[in-house]
Homo-oligomer: A and B are copies of this chain.
């Protein structure tokens, strides 16, 4: 029997619907992957009495509770006070917490407002959880049946604290028998197409099959029971990946460290020690933005005049123009690879979610061109993101092909 876990989110912005509670979903996925049974999510606003009652209920009901929000410096941040009252654990000044909050301001050359001192007041006996990403430290404590961890509500801070400070301690606190999750990561195939392609493959009843369509990939997920045979697992994954072909850019959960599309490209580019220059149009800077901190990107540019080529000339001329641009850039810049993107459409087509643009991505490597043409529909930000990903995927396919043929 798995230990039970509840998610508790605090904040008016959540109960009033100003913010969608993505924290709860993210934490639940993490908890399920660890071997918990997640039984409930609750969100309440900034009302002390509601918080107190809820904390007391959860202390009797669940084995573990992850709480987010309400740790800020302002008067509507009530979590620590609610915990203090719910469990009769008076707030005490924590010198280490205070030092960390102060350091946050010192590092940014800012003076700490007096209100931030409140964040160093923790319920008696609580264990501090360091926060390197913001001012709000987290804390944990055990009460009744339940071990509680309190994290800030800002998603980036919450995720970092969970991964650094909570996740590693869970196996010592709970008897966890997590299933083994394998994700086949693809880009360019829809969920229903994937389902069709793998339809005839038999999956044992004890293995759970699921899909997750994100903005940057579609993941085909297999959850194997704890202690499932490693070789049977590998064999089933291979059978499922086969009909998905080179749409698969990574398989997670079989040992190798894998990441998103850009992570996989970075591995390959770094291994080859090659460099890249790009010309963006429909992706409008987003392609470069996704490559921040990666040494192999030498240059990126967007020119409205270049983007507007797609309103003036036909498909064939667009491809010719893209190739010519790539050759020019190769001569000028000294990058090993040049990626040029043009698209057929105008600014109005880009904005209209019911109209498609046709994106031409051209990759010049040495003296050979790779080419991919795609039609992209939907809201402008989707078109932008898909245009960036399709360009990156062209590079990824080329690099993976090269890695195999070398």
Contacts and interface: CB of A to CB of B under 8 A. Distances in A.
Interface of A: 9, 12-22, 24-32, 38-47, 50, 72-76, 107-109, 113-116, 132-133, 135, 154, 156, 160, 190-193, 195-196, 209-213, 215, 280, 283-293, 295, 297-305, 347, 350-351, 353-354, 356, 375, 377-382, 384
Contact of A193 (B39, B109, B113): B113
Contacts of A38: 15-17, 45
A351 B43 CA distance: 34
B72 A191 contact: yes
Contact of A384 (B22, B26, B292, B350): B292
B293 A297 contact: no
Contacts of A378: 133
Copies in the assembly, this chain: 2
Contact of A108 (B14, B28, B295, B377): B377
Contacts of A297: 302, 304
A267 to B, nearest CB: 16
B301 A156 contact: no
A191 B133 CA distance: 15
A74 B113 contact: no
Contacts of A209: 76
Contacts of A210: 12-13, 18, 46, 76
B381 A292 contact: yes
A319 to B, nearest CB: 18
Contacts of A14: 25, 41
A304 B293 contact: no
Contacts of A154: 213
Contacts of A284: 288-289, 291-293
A24 B17 contact: yes
A285 B293 contact: no
Contacts of A135: 192
A374 B32 CA distance: 41
A347 B380 contact: no
B21 A17 contact: no
A338 B26 CA distance: 41
A373 to B, nearest CB: 11
Max chain B C-beta neighbours (<10 A), residue from A22, A25, A27 = A25
A397 to B, nearest CB: 20
A14 B7 CA distance: 11
A212 B19 contact: yes
Nearest to A44: B40
Contacts of A289: 283-286, 288-289, 384
Contacts of A44: 39-40
Contact of A18 (B17, B29, B75): B29
A285 B277 CA distance: 13
Given A18-B25, A38-B45, A301-B301, 20 more contacts: A15-B40, A17-B24, A17-B26, A17-B30, A17-B32, A20-B21, A21-B21, A39-B44, A40-B44, A42-B43, A46-B210, A107-B356, A113-B195, A135-B192, A284-B288, A284-B289, A286-B292, A299-B303, A299-B304, A300-B302
19 contacts: A15-B40, A17-B24, A17-B26, A19-B25, A19-B212, A20-B24, A21-B21, A39-B45, A74-B192, A74-B211, A75-B195, A107-B354, A133-B382, A135-B192, A160-B379, A285-B287, A285-B289, A286-B286, A298-B305
